[in-house]
Structure 1
Amino acid sequence: MSIWWSLHLRREAASVPLARRLLMGTMETAGVDPDVSYELSVALTEACANAVEHGGGGGSRGPGGGALSEAYRVTAYLDGETCRIEVADSGPGFPGRAAPAAPSDEAENGRGLRLIEELADHVQFGNRSGRGGAVVSFDKILKWRDSPALLLA
């Protein structure tokens, strides 16, 4: 089975639950184990929250004249036994390194990225080439319920 979708969302807190609900609905329909779905939804929530908080400032304009820096993109791929999620924004990106440094116990930022690392099987933090912005992508091996809601031939 292969399912994918991509969303372009405004950098507003209200966009985060929308992405999470779409992912959860997709996973439930495909028959993914609820525990795995929950872990991926928490990781997605953290990545989206990071894009909302830190993903602006590019100043580019989109087709309707709106600032592209006010948006971010979420793409999810369920392909075979793996789910891959990518969240990309138009902000300044991660400063000078592929992976953010581990936060200190007193740090107010960075814990969400560490949570993503704990919940996913493989994580990449990077910067978009050319246009700027951060990209957080993560994969998880899927487990299935005994009786999926969606049976694809």
Structure 2
Amino acid sequence: MSIWWSLHLRREAASVPLARRLLLGTMDAAGVDPDISYDLSLALTEACANAVEHGGDASPEGSSGAYRVTAFLDGDKCRIEVTDSGPGFPLGRVLHGTSLRAPLPPPAPADPHREHGRGLWLIEALADHVDFRNRPGRGAVVSFDKILKWREDALLRAS
């Protein structure tokens, strides 16, 4: 069995916990191991926060814009995609809509007062496979996969 859902969200901070709670609720109802659910929800939180902060219209007029979150639970894998309509990733990080990209630079030295700049590294650390790409002229896509583990009482465990 598989589950698929997609959300079209406004670029507002309140949308981030909404997406996270929906993912956690779906995974709990399906019977996904809580540690896997937590990792994916944290990665989703980081991807959504990036879309809220950086994913707006690149035009001078700007707009509050929107972004999309899509989650697929299929068999023993979960794939999540967060798509925005912003300027995309800086050139050199992503090669125009392909999964070919330069590795992320090493994270900056830890600063206990710093609140930004670690999200993409967290996503890479928490997921099994990650893809950051641009949709030329249409924004960025962050997608990530993780192999699922199931609770003993799982309703949707893959056979």
TM-score range, shorter chain: 0.7 to 0.9
Whichever residue aligns with residue 142 of structure 1, its letter is: L
* Cα distance between partner residues in 2 of 1:80 and 1:50: 28
2:78 aligned with 1:83, yes or no? yes
Whichever residue aligns with residue 22 of structure 2, its letter is: L
* Cα distance between partner residues in 1 of 2:53 and 2:157: 38
Please show how residues 48-87 of structure 1 align to structure 2 within 5 Å.
48-59=48-59, 67=63, 70-87=65-82
2:128 aligned with 1:121, yes or no? yes
Please tell me whether the aligned partners of residues 28 and 149 of structure 1 are also in contact (alpha carbons under 8 angstroms). Answer: no
- Aligned positions, number: 144
SS at match of 1:47: helix
Shift of 1:150: 5.6
Q: TM-score, normalised by structure 1?
A: 0.85
Q: Counterpart of 1:42?
A: 42
SS at match of 2:142: strand
Shift of 1:148: 1.7
* Cα distance between partner residues in 2 of 1:151 and 1:117: 25
Shift of 1:151: 7.7
Whichever residue aligns with residue 126 of structure 1, its letter is: R
Cα deviation, 1:22-49, whole Å, max 9, x if unaligned, reads 0001101111000100000000000000
Unpaired stretches in structure 2, ≥5 consecutive residues: 95-100
Q: Counterpart of 2:117?
A: 110
Please tell me whether the aligned partners of residues 102 and 110 of structure 1 are also in contact (alpha carbons under 8 angstroms). Answer: no
SS at match of 1:3: strand
* Cα distance between partner residues in 2 of 1:24 and 1:141: 16
2:129 aligned with 1:134, yes or no? no
- CA 1:92/1:30 → structure 2, altered by over 3 Å: closer, same or farther? same
Q: CA RMSD, aligned part only?
A: 2.2
Q: TM-score, normalised by structure 2?
A: 0.82
SS at match of 2:23: helix
Whichever residue aligns with residue 121 of structure 1, its letter is: D
